[in-house]
Amino acid sequence: MAGNSFGALFRVTTWGESHGPAVGAVIDGCPPGIPLDPADIQRDLDRRRPGTGGPASPRREPDRVEILSGVFEGRTTGTPISLVVWNKDAHSKSYDHLKDIFRPGHGDITYLAKYGIRDHRGGGRASARETVGRVAAGAVARKLIAAAGMTVEAFTIALGGVEAARRDAAAAAENRFRCPDAEAAARMEARVEEVKRAGDSLGGVVEVVASGMPPGLGEPVFDKLDAELARAMMGIGAVKGVEIGAGFAAAASTGSQNNDPITPDGFAGNNAGGILAGISSGQDIVVRAAVKPIPSIAMEQETVTTSGEVRKIRIGGRHDISAIPRILPVCEAMVALVLADHLLRQRAIAGNTGAGGE
C-alpha cells in the first residue's frame, strides 16, 4: 500500500490497523541532539485517545507510547525513531456482522474496489486509530519547531452548527472542545447531548494557529507552504475541506479588502493567513479544517452487501459522536510535521547560517 509516508527531509511513515496488535510511526530525518522523552509524546496522545466521555468513543485504550529506537540518554541520535502504541481494547467480534456489508460514509467500498480485500475490523487502516502514529510523530516535530520558537495550537470554532463568535485563548483552556468562546462551548455541549440521544453524529470546524513563525519557510511553486498544509490536513480521514487565512471569504472580497496593508511595523492584517506566494511571511499561520460527521451512527441507513443485496443497517458498537475534540491534536500534529519539514529544508538551503528560524 503506497501513501503511508509524509514529508521530504522530516519524513514519517505510519503503520498498523485499528484492530491489529499495535499502531505506530517511524520518523526518518530528525536531527540529532533534540531532548526527547516518552512524556513529551504522551501528552498529545492522551488528548487524542478514546474513552474520555461526551462525544468520544467509550473504547478504553491507554495509548502508552514506547520509543524503540533513535533516542539515547534522552536525546535523538539522528537515526530513525520508531514509536509503538499497543492496542489493548479492540473488540473485533463487534464487527463480524459487518464483514460483508458496506457501511455508508466509510471506506469499505473503495478499499475493496482498490485492493480486492479489506479489513472489516473497525475499518483497518482507514480507521481513525491510524492517527495515533501521526500524533506521536507530530509530538517529535513539535519539539523540533519549538527550538526555533514556533508553537501550534488548535481550537474548535464550530460544532454541529454552533459557531464561536470570539477568539479567546483563555476561554479555550476552560472547556474540553478548546472552543475560544465560552458561551458557544456551552451550546456545543448541549448540541452533543441532543444528537447523541438521537443516535446521530456531528461535524465541525477546527482552526489551527502556528505562532512564532519565521519568514521564508515554504517553496515558491509546487511545494508552497499553504499547499503542503492543505495536503496535510486533507490527509486526515475526517477532513473534507481546508482554508487558509480568509479562505473562501476572499472569493467575495475585493483586492482592496483582501490585501493586507504593509506598514513600517509590519502587516496591518492577516487575510493571507501568514503565507504569501507559498512562503511564510512571519505572521501567524491560520488554517481551518472542515470535519465531517462520524459516519458510524445508530440511526437506520440504507446500503448493500458485497454481493449487491439491499440492506438497512444500524451501526452499533463504540463510536464517537464527533471527531471533535479528539481530532484537534491530529490537526496540530499535521501542521507541526509540515513546519518541521520546511524548517529543515530552509536550513539546508541557508547553510544553517541563521535564516529560516535559527
Mean pLDDT of 188-201: 95
Round to whole Å and give the CA distance between 339 and 319.
Answer: 32
What SS3 class is residue 10? coil
CA-based nearest residue to 137, from 15, 291, 1: 15
**High-pLDDT (> 90) share of the chain, %:** 83
Neighbours of 271 (CB within 10 A): 17
**High-pLDDT (> 70) share of the chain, %:** 92
Distance from the first to the final alpha carbon of the chain: 37
Mean pLDDT of 234-247: 97
Mean pLDDT of 317-334: 91
Tell me the pTM.
0.92
Please, what is the average pLDDT of the chain? 92
Question: Would 30 be classed as within a structural domain?
Answer: yes
Residue 122: give its domain's CATH number: 3.60.150.10
What SS3 class is residue 14? strand
Question: Would 206 be classed as within a structural domain?
Answer: yes
Which ranges of 5-155 does DSSP label H, i.e. alpha helix? 38-48, 108-115, 131-146
- Residue 93: the pLDDT is 62
Mean pLDDT of 292-317: 91
How many domains in the chain?
Answer: 1
* Bridge partners, 276 (sequence order): 279
- Residue 317: the pLDDT is 61
Question: Would 358 be classed as within a structural domain?
Answer: no
pLDDT in tens, 205-224: 999 999 999 999 999 999 99
- Residue 231: the pLDDT is 98
Question: Would 357 be classed as within a structural domain?
Answer: no
> Does residue 357 have a pLDDT over 60?
no
Mean pLDDT of 186-208: 96
Mean pLDDT of 300-319: 88
Mean pLDDT of 283-307: 95
pLDDT band for 354, please (50, 70, 90 cuts).
very low
> Does residue 355 have a pLDDT over 90?
no
Round to whole Å and give the CA distance between 141 and 282.
Answer: 19
Whats the size of the chain, residue-wise?
358
Cell output for 309: 443485496
Round to whole Å and give the CA distance between 163 and 29.
Answer: 40
Question: Would 356 be classed as within a structural domain?
Answer: no
> Does residue 257 have a pLDDT over 60?
yes
Mean pLDDT of 248-268: 97
Round to whole Å and give the CA distance between 21 and 25.
Answer: 14
> Does residue 356 have a pLDDT over 60?
no
> Does residue 157 have a pLDDT over 50?
yes
Question: Would 110 be classed as within a structural domain?
Answer: yes
Round to whole Å and give the CA distance between 301 and 104.
Answer: 7
pLDDT in tens, 52-104: 545 555 556 789 999 999 999 999 999 999 999 999 876 556 677 788 999 99
Question: Would 190 be classed as within a structural domain?
Answer: yes
CA-based nearest residue to 130, from 9, 235, 242, 11: 235
Cell output for 284: 501567524
Round to whole Å and give the CA distance between 318 and 206.
Answer: 23
Phi, psi of 340 (to 5 degrees): -60, -45
- Residue 19: the pLDDT is 86
Round to whole Å and give the CA distance between 112 and 313.
Answer: 19
Range of the domain at 301: 5-350
3-state secondary structure 73-94: CCEECCCCEEEEEECCCCCHHH
pLDDT in tens, 90-148: 655 667 778 899 999 999 999 999 999 988 877 888 889 999 999 999 999 999 999 99
Question: Would 28 be classed as within a structural domain?
Answer: yes
Round to whole Å and give the CA distance between 87 and 81.
Answer: 20
Q: What angle do CA 200, 204, 210 make, to 5 degrees?
A: 150
Q: Which residue has the cell 519557510?
A: 217
What SS3 class is residue 337? helix
Give the CA distances from residue 276 to residues 24, 216, 231, 279, in Å, rounded to whole numbers and listed in that order: 35, 10, 17, 5
Round to whole Å and give the CA distance between 165 and 181.
Answer: 6
Round to whole Å and give the CA distance between 169 and 180.
Answer: 5
CB 148 within 8 A of CB 346: no
Cell output for 184: 458557544
- Residue 353: the pLDDT is 45
What would the DSSP string read from start to end of 203-215?
A: -EEEEEEEESPPT
> Does residue 242 have a pLDDT over 50?
yes
- Residue 61: the pLDDT is 73
